[in-house]
């Protein structure tokens, strides 16, 4: 179990994530587990999620001079959280 203040890094706010009903996406710590995310949501937002789906995005590389790989994007871990209908998260009300 991780310290709950280190689990949720930032919300992902894009057109696609805003259009999803009752689903919110967060960038989370790379070592965080679903139980850590659930506990952090209870502590900071006071909500109980229905489901939590996590995915790890690998780093993105491109080739720079002399064929050397250059990291373009660091690896990320995301959590897609589904809340019960009628429940919303207010990102400004973060405790």
Give pLDDT tens digits for 35-44. 999 999 999 9
Rg (CA), the chain: 16
pTM exceeds cut of 0.85 = yes
The ranges assigned to domains in the chain are 4-85
Give pLDDT tens digits for 33-90. 999 999 999 999 999 999 999 999 999 999 988 889 998 999 999 999 999 999 989 8
Fold of 4-85: Alpha-Beta Plaits (3.30.70)
């Amino acid at each position: 179990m991780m310290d709950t203040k280190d689990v949720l890094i930032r919300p992902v706010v894009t057109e696609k994530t805003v259009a999803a009903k009752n689903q919110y996406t967060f960038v989370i710590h790379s070592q965080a587990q679903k139980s850590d995310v659930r506990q952090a949501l209870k502590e900071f937002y006071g909500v109980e999620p229905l489901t939590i789906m996590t995915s790890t995005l690998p780093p993105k590389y491109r080739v720079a001079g002399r064929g050397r790989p250059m990291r373009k994007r660091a690896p990320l871990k995301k959590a897609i959280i589904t809340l019960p209908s009628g429940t919303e998260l207010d990102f400004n009300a973060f405790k």
